[in-house]
A and B are shown apart, each in its own frame.
Chain A
Amino acid sequence: MRLTLPSTLTALILALAAPAVAAGDGSLDVAAPFEIVSPDPTTSGSIFTRMSIAETLVEVGPDGALIPGLATGWEVSADGLLWRFAIREGVRFHDGTPLDAEAAANALRIALAKPGLLDRAGVTRIEAEGSAVVVRLAAPLSALPAFLAEYRAQILAPSSYGPDGMATAVIGTGPYRITSMEPPLTLNAEAFAGYWGAAPAIPKVSYSAVGRAETRALMAESGDSDFVYNLDPASVSRLSGSDDVTVLSAPIPRSLLLKVNAARPAMNTPEARRALSLAIDRVGLAQAVLRYPEGATQLFPPAVDGWHDAALPPLAYDPKEAKAILAGLGWAPGADGVLERDGARFALTLTTYPDRPELPLVAAVLEQQFRQIGVTLSIDSTNSSEIPARHASGALDLGLLARNFALVPDPIGTVMQDYAPTGDWGAMGWENADFVALAGAIARGEAAPGARAQAAAILQAELPVIPIAWYRQSLAVSKAVKGGMIDPWERTFGLPSIAWAE
C-alpha cells in the first residue's frame, strides 16, 4: 500500500481541477430554474426567447412600450377587426431560409391551434398577404400586438414543426443559433452570422437549468455561471457582499396574492375579505420572508403603468379592526380562540405550491397572522395545478400564488383572464358587472382615460383577491462581464448586449 489514499485523491482532484480554473472558455454561461421540456414554443418557448434564439413579431422596450420586432409596424382597420403586420425584410432563419409573410403566418397559425394564447384573443384567421401578415379578430382587441409579443407567438421556420404542429427543432431568427440541446438541462448556442440586427458581443452562450436556488447562487459565487437568474432572498443578501458578482434587483409586474373563494359564506362580503386583509402585516412579512423593504399597498405594482394608482388608499394592517369587523359579522371566539358563527368554525384550507420557494414560507406566516384574529388555516403545499383544478371543482378556500401581469406584455391580457368576470388564477365566486364592462372597454381600446385606475379601485374595494407583496426579480452577474441587465418584463436575459469586461 505505497500509494496512500489522500495523496492519490489530491492528485486526482488537482488534475481535474486544472481545466475548471480556466473556465473562461469564451462562453457566456447562464443558469436559470426553467427546465427545457421540448423544442415546442408552448413548453419551453420562454427559454428560447430569453436566450435570444427565437423572436416575435412585436417586442417590448425597457419601459414596457411595444416596439417593432420581426414586424416593422402594424395597423388596424377602422372597425378594429383586421390587423396588418408588415414583415421585416432581409431576415433569415438559422437554416438560411428567408423569413417571409407566409412563414410568419404559418408559425402563428400553429400557435393559434394550441390552447391558451391566440384563441383567447379571439383570433379567427391568420393569412399572409404580400409582405404582411393579416390577423382577423371576432371582436376588437386593442392589445393584439401585445399578444403577438408573448413567447408562444414566436416565429420559427416552417421546417421546425412536425406534421402534428409540435416543433421538433428550434429554427429561429435570433442573434443566437442553437448548436446543441439536451433536454431537460442544457443548451449551447453561438452567434448567428446571418442575423439581421447588430451582432452580439460574445459569440458563444450556454444555458443550464438548475432547479435549486441554493445551487444557482453557489454557481454564481464560484464563477461557474456568468449570469444567474432568479436568486432566493437569502442568497441576495449573501452575494451582495461578493467581490466577484454584481447582484441586480428590480421590481417586476408580478404580485404575490391570496386568491379567495368569495362563494364561501365566511368570505362572501367585501367586509369579511377586508377583515382578512387587515390581519396581514405586509411590511413585516415582506421584510422577514422576502427581504423586501415594503409590502403591496394595492394589487398592481408601480411598474404596471395606468393600473397602479398612487392615489389609492393603501391596504392597511390593523388586527384590532379586523376582529371588530368579524364580530360585527356575527363571529365570536370559541373555546380554542377560533371564531365560530352558527356552529361553523372560521377554518380554511390554504392551497399553495413550492415551485416558488417563498410561497410555503409566506403561507406559514399567514397562518400565524390569521390565527391572531381567530381564523385558523391548514396549509396544503402541493402541485401548482391544484389551484386551477380546485377553482374548477369549487373546492378551493384560499390560494396563495404569484401572478404575472405581463405574461402578455399588456396587463389587460391577464386582467381579462383573471377578473372579467372570474379566472383560474384570479377571482372566484366574485363577479362585478362594472369591472367586466370597464375591462371590455379597455380591451377594445374604447376606454376613457383613467379607466384602468377605476378598475383597480374596484378590485381594491371588493378584494376578490387579497394582495400581499410586489415581486422583485434578482439576478447575479459575474464581474467578468459588463452590460448585464434585468428585463422587468421577464422576456429576455439581454445576452446580446453583454460583453467581457476588460
Chain B
Amino acid sequence: MPLLSRALQAVMVALIVGVATFLMMQSLPGDAAFRIAAGRYGYDNVNAGAAEAVRAELGLDGPLLGQLLRWMGDLARLDLGVSLISGQPVWGEIAHQLGASAELAAAALLLSLLIGPPLGIIAGLNPGGWFDRALLVVSTALKAAPQFLIGLALIVILAVELRWLPAAGYGEPQHFVLPALALALGLAAVSARIARNAAAEAAASAWWRFSEGKGLSRNRTLMRHGLRNLAVPLLTCVGLQFVTLVEGVVVIESIFGWPGIGHALVHAVFSRDVPMVQGAALTLGLSFVIVNAMIDLALRRVDPRGAA
C-alpha cells in the first residue's frame, strides 16, 4: 500500500514537472531559436541566419500543444528525446550527469553525517558547556555563509595555500574532497543542531536516568538506547536536507567544474534546451520521491511503533 501510493505520487510528479517545465520554458522572454543558436555556436557565431536555420530544423513555429503531447508520449515509452544543443540523447547525458551529481551528493551527505551528529551529540550531552556554545556559533556561521563562499574559502586554504588538494576538476578521488566538504559543512551545521537538541532532550529524559541508574555508563547508555532515539529526528532531517543538497549541488558544481546535473540544468535553461530541462527536472523530482520513500522505510525500521 505505501509503495503503491509512492508510485502514484511518482507518476503525478512526472506529469506536473513535465507540464510545468514546458510551460515555464515557453513563457520565458526571448526568441528560443536565437537562444538555442547561441548555445550551439557561441556568441561569436550566433546571428539571424543561424537562428533561422535552427528554427527550420526544429520546427519551432509548430503548435505548442503538439510539442508537449509528443514529449509525454515519448516519456511513456521512457524516451526523453534529444538535446537541442548537442544532438545527443537526453537519457545518456542525464545518466552521466546524474551519476556525477549523485556521487558528489552521497559523499557530501556521508561527510556531513560524520561531522554533524557526533559533534552535536557531544554538545547535547553537556548542554550549556563551552563546547555547546562554541558549536552554536560555528554552526550558525556555517549555515548562514553562502555555499559559494565556503567553496572558495576551502579552495584558497586547502588548495592554494596548503596545496593538499586540487582546486577543481573531476575524475580522481581527491577531486571529491573540496566540493563534498563545501556541501557537507552547511548540511552538518543543521544536523549538528538537530542532534544536539535531540541528545539534550534524551539526556534529560526519564529512560536515560533509569539506564544510568541501573549502572550503565553514559557511553553505553548512548550506544544502547540513545542512538536509536536520536536517529528518528536525524533521518527526517536528512530527508529534508535533500532539497538543500540539490540547491547546493547547482552552485558547488559550477564553482568546482563538476560535470553534474545542476550544472547541466543551468546551462539548459540558458540555451532553451527544453528536452534537457524537462529531463533534468523530471529526474530531480523523481529522485526526491525516491529519497522520501527510502526515508519512510528507514524510519519504520528505526521506530517500528507507528507501523503496527
Q: When each residue 83-115 of chain B gets 1 if its CB lies under 8 Å from chain A and 0 otherwise, what string results?
A: 001111000010010000000000000000011
Q: Are B159 and A224 in contact, CB atoms less than 8 angstroms apart? A: yes
B14 surroundings in chain A (CB, below 8 A) = none
Q: Are A383 and B96 in contact, CB atoms less than 8 angstroms apart? A: no
* A330 lies within 8 A of chain B by Cβ: no
Stretch from B18-26, B46-54, B239-247, B295-303 that touches the partner: B46-54
Q: How far is the CB of B61 from chain A (nearest CB, A)?
A: 15
Q: Are A184 and B259 in contact, CB atoms less than 8 angstroms apart? A: yes
Stretch from B30-38, B62-70, B72-80, B280-288 that touches the partner: B30-38
Q: Are A222 and B40 in contact, CB atoms less than 8 angstroms apart? A: no
* B256 lies within 8 A of chain A by Cβ: yes
Known interface pairs A184-B267, A215-B167. Does A388 touch B47 (Cβ–Cβ under 8 Å)?
yes
Q: Are A1 and B122 in contact, CB atoms less than 8 angstroms apart? A: yes
Q: How far is the CB of B216 from chain A (nearest CB, A)?
A: 16
Scan residues 184-241 of chain A and give those whose CB is less than 8 A from a CB of chain B.
Answer: 184-186, 208-212, 214-215, 218-219, 221-224
Q: Are B122 and A383 in contact, CB atoms less than 8 angstroms apart? A: no
Q: Are B41 and A211 in contact, CB atoms less than 8 angstroms apart? A: no
CA distance A355 to B219 in the complex (A): 56
Checking A182, A211, A386 against B257 with a beta-carbon cut-off of 8 angstroms, the contacting residue is A211
B86 surroundings in chain A (CB, below 8 A) = 37-38, 43, 183
Checking A184, A224, A355 against B264 with a beta-carbon cut-off of 8 angstroms, the contacting residue is A184
Closest residue of chain B to A215, judged by CB? B168
A184 surroundings in chain B (CB, below 8 A) = 259, 263-264, 267
Q: Are B174 and A212 in contact, CB atoms less than 8 angstroms apart? A: no
Q: When each residue 159-184 of chain B gets 1 if its CB lies under 8 Å from chain A and 0 otherwise, what string results?
A: 11001111111111110110000000
Q: Are A224 and B169 in contact, CB atoms less than 8 angstroms apart? A: yes
* A116 lies within 8 A of chain B by Cβ: yes
Q: Are A385 and B169 in contact, CB atoms less than 8 angstroms apart? A: no
CA distance A480 to B165 in the complex (A): 18
Stretch from A8-16, A57-65, A70-78, A445-453 that touches the partner: A8-16
Q: Are B155 and A215 in contact, CB atoms less than 8 angstroms apart? A: yes
Checking B165, B166, B255 against A13 with a beta-carbon cut-off of 8 angstroms, the contacting residue is B165
Q: When each residue 253-272 of chain B gets 1 if its CB lies under 8 Å from chain A and 0 otherwise, what string results?
A: 01111010001100100100
Q: Are B114 and A8 in contact, CB atoms less than 8 angstroms apart? A: yes
* B118 lies within 8 A of chain A by Cβ: yes
* B45 lies within 8 A of chain A by Cβ: yes
Q: How many residues of B contact A (CB 8 A)?
A: 62
Q: How far is the CB of B230 from chain A (nearest CB, A)?
A: 13
Q: Are A382 and B87 in contact, CB atoms less than 8 angstroms apart? A: no
**Contact-residue bracket for chain A:** 35 or more
* A17 lies within 8 A of chain B by Cβ: yes
Q: How far is the CB of B40 from chain A (nearest CB, A)?
A: 5
Closest residue of chain A to B156, judged by CB? A218
Known interface pairs A8-B114, A224-B169, A385-B46. Does A38 touch B88 (Cβ–Cβ under 8 Å)?
yes
Scan residues 102-150 of chain A and give those whose CB is less than 8 A from a CB of chain B.
Answer: 114-116
Known interface pairs A20-B164, A215-B167. Does A404 touch B44 (Cβ–Cβ under 8 Å)?
yes
A210 surroundings in chain B (CB, below 8 A) = 168, 257
Q: How far is the CB of B291 from chain A (nearest CB, A)?
A: 25
Known interface pairs A9-B115, A16-B173, A407-B45. Does A212 touch B40 (Cβ–Cβ under 8 Å)?
no
* B43 lies within 8 A of chain A by Cβ: yes
CA distance A475 to B35 in the complex (A): 29
Q: How far is the CB of A381 from chain B (nearest CB, A)?
A: 13
CA distance A203 to B169 in the complex (A): 21
A423 surroundings in chain B (CB, below 8 A) = 47
Q: Are A218 and B160 in contact, CB atoms less than 8 angstroms apart? A: yes
A166 surroundings in chain B (CB, below 8 A) = 87
Checking B40, B255, B270 against A37 with a beta-carbon cut-off of 8 angstroms, the contacting residue is B40
* A372 lies within 8 A of chain B by Cβ: no
Closest residue of chain B to A388, judged by CB? B47
* A424 lies within 8 A of chain B by Cβ: yes
Checking A16, A37, A208, A218 against B159 with a beta-carbon cut-off of 8 angstroms, the contacting residue is A218
A5 surroundings in chain B (CB, below 8 A) = 114-115, 118-119
* A294 lies within 8 A of chain B by Cβ: no
Q: How far is the CB of A320 from chain B (nearest CB, A)?
A: 36
Q: Are A383 and B160 in contact, CB atoms less than 8 angstroms apart? A: no
Q: Are A208 and B169 in contact, CB atoms less than 8 angstroms apart? A: yes
Closest residue of chain B to A18, judged by CB? B174
A20 surroundings in chain B (CB, below 8 A) = 163-166, 172, 174
15 examples of A-B residue contacts, CB within 8 angstroms: A1-B121, A5-B115, A17-B177, A20-B163, A42-B40, A114-B53, A115-B50, A212-B255, A215-B167, A215-B168, A218-B155, A218-B168, A224-B166, A404-B44, A407-B44
Binding site for A on B (CB under 8 A): 30-31, 34-35, 37-51, 53, 85-88, 93, 96, 114-115, 118-119, 121-122, 152, 155-156, 158-160, 163-174, 176-177, 219, 254-257, 259, 263-264, 267, 270
CB-based closest 9 A-B pairs: A384-B43, A385-B38, A385-B34, A424-B47, A17-B164, A38-B86, A389-B34, A222-B159, A222-B167
Binding site for B on A (CB under 8 A): 1, 5, 8-9, 12-14, 16-17, 19-21, 23, 31, 34-35, 37-38, 40, 42-43, 46, 114-116, 166, 182-186, 208-212, 214-215, 218-219, 221-224, 353, 355, 382-386, 388-389, 391-392, 404, 407, 417, 423-425
